[in-house]
Chain A
Amino acid sequence: GQSLEQPSEVTAVEGAIVQINCTYQTSGFYGLSWYQQHDGGAPTFLSYNALDGLEETGRFSSFLSRSDSYGYLLLQELQMKDSASYFCAVRDDTGRRALTFGSGTRLQVQP
């Protein structure tokens, strides 16, 4: 089976940097994705890592270590609009195309 663990809640202030960790257990591994979901909204894709290392997209970066079955999402220069839930998700390498999602980390950005 597959399972992912991420913290349930994180609080930070505007302008700060926050890191949301994700550890996973899968029978195989194809890549780690991150999605953002505002309350009442649809999940939106943020980033994808298939190989070890850091991927940077503007204020957001995502890191993967396949040997540690670990990844994180780094949000810099936090803004109030970043308050949302963040989900890590994995696709295994069995050919199963569906994503398995973590339970989400609720980020609250305070002024």
Chain B
Amino acid sequence: GAGVSQSPSNKVTEKGKDVELRCDPISGHTALYWYRQRLGQGLEFLIYFQGNSAPDKSGLPSDRFSAERTGESVSTLTIQRTQQEDSAVYLCASSLALAATDTQYFGPGTRLTVL
């Protein structure tokens, strides 16, 4: 596709349930990022993939959060035992991972609401 896509666009779940969020990056982009954006706030880094490896997981807020990437393409962010404070928009971005500008291209996000 032409851009980064994410699914679902909206997800409503009950507290304690697990959710999976999917990201399809731009074809050929080796770097993939997950960010979280709470209402009216800036973007909070969660995890970065280079290829299928995650050299930087420093932003994951707890061990309930995990992510994987396969085929140097699709990534899935999993949140286990969701809590109300997990409610946010989860944004995925990809880039060519060039050393200089390395522009990140964002998907439309998944709006997660935990009831």
Could you tell me which A residues sit within 8 Å of B by CB distance?
31, 33, 35, 41-45, 48, 50, 87, 89, 91, 96-104
Contacts and interface: CB of A to CB of B under 8 A. Distances in A.
Contact of B45 (A35, A99, A102): A99
Contacts of A44: 106
Contacts of A45: 103-105
Interface residues of B, number: 28
5 contacts: A42-B91, A50-B100, A99-B43, A101-B43, A103-B42
A102 B31 CA distance: 22
Interface in B68-104: 91, 93, 97, 100-104
Contact of A41 (B4, B97, B108): B108
A31 B101 contact: yes
Contacts of A99: 33, 43, 45, 104
A35 B105 CA distance: 10
B102 A104 contact: no
B18 interface: no
Contacts of B8: none
A73 to B, nearest CB: 15
Nearest to A89: B43
A100 B105 contact: no
Contacts, number: 56
Contacts of B41: 103-104
B59 interface: yes
Contacts of A50: 100-101
Nearest to B6: A42
B105 A97 contact: no
A53 to B, nearest CB: 15
Given A41-B108, A43-B91, A87 B31 contact: no
B107 interface: yes
A100 B100 contact: no
B18 to A, nearest CB: 25
B100 to A, nearest CB: 7
